[in-house]
Structure 1
Amino acid sequence: MGLENRIVYDIVDVVEGTCRLKQALIKDKRFENLYLLPAAQTRDKNAVTVEQMSELCDKLRESFDFILIDCPAGIEQGFKNAIAGADRAIVVTNPEVSAVRDADRIIGLLEANEIKDIRLVINRIRQDMVRRGDMMSKQDIIEILAIELLGLVPDDESIIVSTNKGEPAILDSKSSAGQAYKNIAKRILGNDVPLLEVSTDNNIFSKLKKMFGMAK
């Protein structure tokens, strides 16, 4: 988001009472209603408890319509904290077998923690590789994970450029990934936005399913 240089307080400062919640929130100057509450980069991951995270999310709900919690990789304390205040989840995965396997495990943990509204975003998908059969298609992934698809994000080098500049990709009108992010946001708001369609007739995973009689 490019807001790192403006961080004074973080989430640990809030729960420890070092500052008020409003003092830790950083307003994005480009988007009127967007704020960032920074995570602690130099503190122990156990500095915030599940109970404190849940209480903090309840406070944030008083002022915001949507609270996006960026969950760290893995299933340690950071994961437990992230889901403590959540009422739904978006699982982001790459179209690779190992990544989809990890996503399936995360979905199981979310369901075990009574989070039932779980949706899927497939990241870094390449239409050319899907058509050649060298990459898992959205159908392959949905069949394995069995959750609703929220969006497809194409592999786009503009993401690297945006990250290096510290600017959101949605500000780049030529970014296909940026447009995909906008479409995902619209779907979250309840708008009907078509998904990117990719032909999968030659997909190796589809061929394997046909060979073993798994194709529907």
Structure 2
Amino acid sequence: METKIDGGILPVLRVWLQPGERLVAETGELSWKSPHITLHTTMSGAGNSGILGAVSRALAGGGLFMTEYVAEGAPGLLAFAAKMPGHIHEHTLDGHRSYLVHRHGFIAGTDGVKLELGFQRRLGAGLFGGDGFRLQRVSGYGTFWTELGGEVVMHDLAPGEQIDVHPGHVGMFEESVQFDITMLPGIRNKLFGGDGFFLARLTGPGRIWLQTLTLPNLAGALAPFLASAKA
């Protein structure tokens, strides 16, 4: 298998499969492929089997179904284009390190990659984190790819080091990073600050990937122009 990520802020991931090699992706991610690539929609992809595994994956922000791609009889090409301005990243799993990815971040993975609901360590994160904390847990062996919005800032947190982040800007992080929800101080900040009531508090050790663009912010920036176009 060979891979290449082309482009800048609107990238595309291209994957060349050898005969018999396979890749599993979220449904609706495919942009183009060669004729020797066959596809099969299944509920049992990404390390899950049966309805319970599919439901767990769906609760994390994915779908009930995954699409499995296989090169039949000859090498073949697959391509996955970004759905919003941002960057595509490639990650390697060694069976020991797992990642938590925001609900729309996972694109595809090789055999051995498992995608499931990322359970919250603390109840507060699940109750007040909003869509930013509907997380996908990626584990197992192999390679997987993520799409994060806007520019991506990677930061390595030392043991005990903390950073407070708007939940939507948390792109992904190593599972060794602890996270919780903290409330903004001051009534005026809460009511008039425009930043919501809560921030995500990430505590090291581990690497975090922060994204500068979120889908709600992009939609909010476009909304006035869409409204005027309808008028």
Compute the TM-score of the two structures, normalised by the length of structure 2. 0.23
The higher relative CO (CA closer than 8 Å, separation ≥ 6) is in 2
Task: Give the structure with the larger helix fraction.
Answer: 1
Task: Give the structure with the larger strand fraction.
Answer: 2
Compute the TM-score of the two structures, normalised by the length of structure 1. 0.24
